[in-house]
Amino acid sequence: MTVELSAEDKERLVQAACLARKWSYSPYSHYPVGAALLTRSGKVYDGTNIENASFPLSNCAERTAIFKAVSEGEHEFTAIAVVTANAGSPCGACRQVMAEFGLDMLVLIADADGKIHREMTVAGLLPGAFTPADLPRP
């Protein structure tokens, strides 16, 4: 069940993602991304993209935020805000990682000015997602 966020909560999450975007390490793409993840416990974890000269070793902002939260014991997420210069959408890898933790998570996609361009659930971003329910149980 998707949780409704107030306009103030959405704004707070987008602003946290805007701030995180400033810490981006993106010397190759020059495409800084910031993310802010709201957990069901009310904590916010931020993340930014971190590039590497060996491109496959780079990490996206969304996954950075999720991995930070998981490493702190959080596994239930309410919403994530993603901020790029042009309100770019999360990549496939990030969509799949989001799906691992719930298809009902709200995704806010905003531009560098903090204007939200799209709101949808992870299920809307990744229809037919492969989830833990698809794996056989022993």
User: pLDDT of 25-43, one tens digit each?
Assistant: 999 999 999 999 999 999 9
- Half-sphere exposure (Cβ direction) of 16: Cα atoms closer than 13 Å: 22
Q: Is residue 37 part of a domain?
A: yes
Per-residue H/E/C for the chain: CCCCCCHHHHHHHHHHHHHHHCCCECCCCCCCCEEEEEECCCCEEEEECECCCCHHHCECHHHHHHHHHHHCCCCCEEEEEEECCCCCCCCHHHHHHHHHCCCCCEEEEECCCCCEEEEEEHHHHCCCCCCHHHCCCC
Radius of gyration of the chain measured on its C-alpha atoms: 14
What is the pLDDT at residue 2? Answer: 61
Question: Does any domain span residue 79?
Answer: yes
User: What are the catalytic residues?
Assistant: 62
Residue 1 within any structural domain of the chain: no
CATH number at residue 46: 3.40.140.10
pTM listed for this prediction: 0.94
List pLDDT tens digits, range 74-84.
Answer: 999 999 999 99
Two structure tokens written together for 108:
């806010």
The two tokens of residue 73 are: 């014991």
> Above 80 in pLDDT, residue 110?
yes
Residue 11 lies in a domain: yes
Show the domain range for 113: 7-124
What confidence tier does 50 reach under pLDDT thresholds 50, 70, 90?
very high
Q: Judge whether 48 lies within some domain.
A: yes
For residue 105, tell me if it sits in a domain: yes
Q: CA 107 → CA 2, 47, 75, distances in Å?
A: 10, 15, 16
**Total domain count, the chain:** 1
Dihedral (Cα; 117, 29, 94, 13), 10-degree rounding: -40
Within-domain flag for 64: yes
- Asked if the structure places residue 130 within a domain, the reply is no
